[in-house]
C-alpha cells in the first residue's frame, strides 16, 4: 500500500512532543478532493476538536479548485474526520484528562482515498525546543565526523 503524501505539518514536529498517532479518513467535497490531489492544501496550525462525539479537523486551508464553479466551499471550513467510535472516545479522554491536544501531521492519499495522520501532542516549552535543536546539531556533527573518517 503506497501512500502519496500531499501535505505535511513540519511545524508540529518542532512545537509539540508527539505521542500516539492515528489514521483518519476525511470528508471532502468533490472540488476539495481535486484541489487536495493537486497538492493545494496547507496543514499549518491545524488541530482536531471533538464536538458532540465527532472529530472535526479545524484550520486546514484547502485552496479553491480553479476549474470549479462559484459553489466552491470555504477554504477554511471545518472538515469531519472519519474515525471509529472507540478511537474518538480514547482521544477525547486523553484531551480532557491529560491536557493533551490533537494535531494534524500529514495529509496523504492511500488507495485513492484522502487520509490524515493525527497525533496526541503536548506543547513544548522554549527550553525543550532549544534542547531538541542542540541534540539535532550534535547528531549532525557526529555524522559528519564519522563520514570524514570513512573517506
Q: What is the pLDDT of residue 2?
A: 67
**Would you say residue 88 lies in a domain?**
yes
CATH at 105: 2.40.280.10
- Locate cell 573518517: which residue? 149
Q: What is the pLDDT of residue 95?
A: 92
Q: What's the start-to-end Cα distance of the chain, in Å?
A: 38
**Would you say residue 151 lies in a domain?**
no
**Would you say residue 36 lies in a domain?**
yes
Going by pLDDT thresholds of 50, 70 and 90, the confidence category of residue 21 is: very high
H-run or E-run covering 135: helix 126-150
Residue 114 and residue 25 in contact, taking contact as beta carbons nearer than 8 Å: yes
Going by pLDDT thresholds of 50, 70 and 90, the confidence category of residue 76 is: confident
Domain that holds residue 50: 3-124
Does the pTM of the predicted model rise above 0.75? yes
Which of 29, 30, 16, 43 has its CA nearest to residue 105? Answer: 43
pLDDT at 72 over 80: no
- Locate cell 492511500: which residue? 110
Say how many domains are in the chain: 1
**Would you say residue 149 lies in a domain?**
no
Phi, psi of 143 (to 5 degrees): -65, -40
Amino acid at each position: 500500500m503506497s501512500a502519496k503524501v500531499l501535505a505535511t505539518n513540519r511545524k508540529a514536529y518542532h512545537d509539540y512532543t508527539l505521542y500516539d498517532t492515528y489514521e483518519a479518513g476525511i470528508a471532502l467535497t468533490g472540488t476539495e478532493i481535486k484541489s487536495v490531489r493537486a497538492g493545494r492544501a496547507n496543514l499549518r496550525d491545524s488541530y482536531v476538536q471533538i464536538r458532540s462525539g465527532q472529530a472535526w479537523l479545524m484550520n486546514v486551508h484547502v485552496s479553491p479548485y480553479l476549474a470549479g464553479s462559484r459553489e466552491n466551499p470555504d477554504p477554511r471550513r471545518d472538515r469531519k474526520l472519519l474515525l471509529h467510535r472507540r478511537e474518538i472516545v480514547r482521544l477525547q479522554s486523553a484531551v480532557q484528562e491529560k491536557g493533551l491536544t490533537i494535531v494534524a501531521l500529514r495529509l496523504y492519499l492511500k488507495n485513492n482515498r484522502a487520509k490524515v495522520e493525527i497525533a496526541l501532542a503536548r506543547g513544548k516549552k522554549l527550553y525543550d525546543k532549544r534542547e531538541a535543536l542542540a541534540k539535532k546539531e550534535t547528531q549532525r556533527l557526529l555524522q559528519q565526523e564519522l563520514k570524514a573518517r570513512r573517506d
